[in-house]
């Protein structure tokens, strides 16, 4: 074999070996069930990226906390154990108050109000994520949060001593101020917690209750429209920096599409899931006037507490939102 033919053969062999290495697979941990609309939007986003990059970057979603439990997803992506993930931001309010800006009780109570708030708060939250070695891609709001109880509940007096599923600083504080007992429970553990009596109540959207069939254990859902928390999708900063400009553009475009799809799905899912809770046998109704007034007082207290910890950035967000609404 001549020197040239040897060189060509070596080059071809090297190319054949190197070509598959150009393709990457990213695992994307997610906390909620595969049938939840957040997980479905995430799966569509992953398919969009995979198709848009011609398979050079394949994203594989892992719902229901199957790869990492919900409370470990953010840390896993920060440290590079996973390159991309989705997480409920307000669950990390204890790390930085701005992560809980979407869970200030009764600051917003509709999708339009929430989007107006997020337009102001979103860039600040993205900056906080960047400080945690995370590149923000997109986020999707949950439907307005309501209160679930095993038994009929008309006022905070009826809540005393009730075991309450907590998933964030805000939900734990709400429990304390209403006299309930907070119990930290991730989304994947909800059904078991209610079945075994570990918890008897929670604040969440109709979507979570519907997905977990909570009517098998709980009897009442009260519409209070307390807040609309967001699930965010983010990428490890080092992994993001390692992508080509073309791939970054694909991911950014797919993220914009996922954000729009997620918002539409969340709006559509709101009434559908409330109807589903009713069909399951739950009583679904507006909270009593007494409960609403008591919760508003508690909400004012929690807002002041949040502002006291969120500093100038938090105050600027709330002031700008209030000025425009």
What is the structure's pLDDT at 19? Answer: 35
The number of folded domains in the chain is 2
What is the structure's pLDDT at 6? Answer: 42
Q: What is the CATH number of the domain that holds 137?
A: 3.40.190.170
Is 126 a domain residue? yes
pTM, rounded to two decimals: 0.87
Q: How many of the other CB atoms lie within 10 Å of CB of 245?
A: 7
What is the structure's pLDDT at 232? Answer: 98
Extract the tokens encoding 127: 């900056």
| Together in a domain, 303 and 243 | no
What is the structure's pLDDT at 325? Answer: 80
DSSP 8-state class, residue 204: E
Is 5 a domain residue? no
What is the structure's pLDDT at 21? Answer: 44
| Together in a domain, 137 and 238 | yes
Kindly report the backbone phi and psi dihedral angles of residue 138, in degrees, each rounded to the nearest multiple of 5, phi listed first: -160, 165
Burial readout 74-102 (b: 16 or more C-beta within 10 A, e: otherwise): bbbbbeebbbbbbbbbbbbbeebbbbbbb
Q: Three-class SS of residue 138?
A: strand
d(C-alpha 168, C-alpha 151), whole Å: 23
- Residue 71, domain extent: 20-142+230-274
| Together in a domain, 37 and 112 | yes
Q: CA distances (Å), 141 to each of 238, 296, 316, 323, in order?
A: 27, 22, 22, 22
Is 13 a domain residue? no
Q: CA distances (Å), 132 to each of 79, 238, 271, 281, 312, in order?
A: 10, 12, 36, 44, 20
| Together in a domain, 214 and 315 | yes
Is 121 a domain residue? yes
Binned average pLDDT, 10 residues per bin, the chain of 325 residues = 39 35 89 95 98 98 96 98 97 96 92 97 98 98 96 98 95 96 94 97 95 96 96 98 98 98 96 96 97 95 95 96 90
| Together in a domain, 132 and 170 | no
| Together in a domain, 193 and 307 | yes
| Together in a domain, 114 and 204 | no
What is the structure's pLDDT at 187? Answer: 87
Q: Is the Cβ–Cβ distance between 61 and 30 less than 8 Å?
A: yes
């Amino acid at each position: 074999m001549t020197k040239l033919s040897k060189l060509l053969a070596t080059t071809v062999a090297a190319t054949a070996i190197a070509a598959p290495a150009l393709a990457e697979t990213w695992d994307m941990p997610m906390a909620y069930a595969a049938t939840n609309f957040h997980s479905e939007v995430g799966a569509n986003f992953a398919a969009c990226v995979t198709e848009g990059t011609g398979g050079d970057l394949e994203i594989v979603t892992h719902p229901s906390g199957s790869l990492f439990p919900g409370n470990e997803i953010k840390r896993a992506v920060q440290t590079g154990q996973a390159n991309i993930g989705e997480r409920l931001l307000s669950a990390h309010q204890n790390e930085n108050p701005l992560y809980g800006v979407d869970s200030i009780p009764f600051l917003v109570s509709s999708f339009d109000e929430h989007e107006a708030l997020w337009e102001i708060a979103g860039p600040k939250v993205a900056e906080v994520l960047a400080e945690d070695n995370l590149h923000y891609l997109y986020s999707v709001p949950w439907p307005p949060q309501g209160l679930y109880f095993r038994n009929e509940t008309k006022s905070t007096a009826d809540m005393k001593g009730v075991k309450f599923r907590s998933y964030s600083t805000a939900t734990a504080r709400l429990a304390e101020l209403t006299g309930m007992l907070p119990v930290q429970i991730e989304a994947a553990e909800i059904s078991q917690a209610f079945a075994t009596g570990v918890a008897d109540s929670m604040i969440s959207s109709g979507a979570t209750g519907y997905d977990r069939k909570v009517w098998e254990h709980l009897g009442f859902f009260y519409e209070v429209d307390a807040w609309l928390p967001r699930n965010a999708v983010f990428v490890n900063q080092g992994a993001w920096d390692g992508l080509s400009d073309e791939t970054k553009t694909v991911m950014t475009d797919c993220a914009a599409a996922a954000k729009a799809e997620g918002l539409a799905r969340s709006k559509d899912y709101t009434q559908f899931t409330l109807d589903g809770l009713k069909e399951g046998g739950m009583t679904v109704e507006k909270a009593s006037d007494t409960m609403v007034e008591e919760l508003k007082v508690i909400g004012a207290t929690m807002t002041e507490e949040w502002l006291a910890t969120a500093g100038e950035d938090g105050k600027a967000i709330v002031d700008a939102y209030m000025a425009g609404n």
